[in-house]
Amino acid sequence: MTKLELKNWTKWYESTKTLEEYLRDQVDDPDGLLEGFYPTLAELMFNFSWTHLDFYDNCYSEQYIWEHRIRRDEDHYCYTDVVDFHRGSFFMLRIKDDGGEWQDWLYLSKSNYGKLGVYTARPFPKGTPLGFYLGAEVWRAPSVGTFEPTPEYLQRRGVTQSPCLCSIRDAEGRLVVRDPQRIEPGLNPYHLFLGMHYVKGVEERGVPSRPNCQIIEDGTVVAHFALDAHEELISGVLE
């Protein structure tokens, strides 16, 4: 990363307002369909640049919320206390727009490729930031420019390979390796955060090699194509 790239990188994170403008520049959304989501997404993304995830616990029910629902048919659902993904249960991620209204965003449900996956709850234009890749930090570079650690190095430090292991950059441009664990979610939604670690990766067995979303350097998951509602997200890493 050059000094100019690093300067631009950190500039995006000076405030939520500058990050809002960055999102608008990135998204192919000529009709402004996502306008109400930029403030909420910017605040979530801005706070993700810090080391700890306490922010996500604190803003749960204020900025985002998971609702447990069960499908009755393709267009109807009801609420239930019993989590059974094999019987049509799913968790809906809702984000509060700048008008204070809750909007369906993505949902966690039984995957077409085994276990759980993330699906779109609404159409998204190409380039839309769908969420952030959140999870436990297992390694952080001591300085900008440090090379990515090898799997052998991480293994010596007790980090095992998993489908969720991902190298991203923080707001300062340093490499960070995160490894969120895919757990069977119960009624407590706090471990789900934004749910991106349940997105299937192209390197996983049986998953199509053509992704419809990408994980970019800072951990943002971005729509690679225009997405319809109820599409399962398949991710790759944008080189």
Q: Give the CATH number for residue 230.
A: 2.170.270.10
pLDDT digits (tens, 9 = 90+) for 158-189: 888 777 888 888 777 888 888 887 877 776 67
What single-letter DSSP state applies at residue 162?
A: -
pLDDT reading at 239 higher than 60: no
pLDDT reading at 5 higher than 70: no
- pLDDT above 70 covers a percentage of the chain that reads 87
Which amino acid, 168? I
* Alpha carbons 70 and 136: distance in angstroms, whole number: 30
* Domain carrying residue 69: 3-237
Check residue 21 and give its pLDDT. Answer: 83
Mean pLDDT on 23-47? 82
Of 191, 194, 166, 41, nearest in space to 107 by CA: 194
Model-level pTM? 0.84
Number of domains in the chain: 1
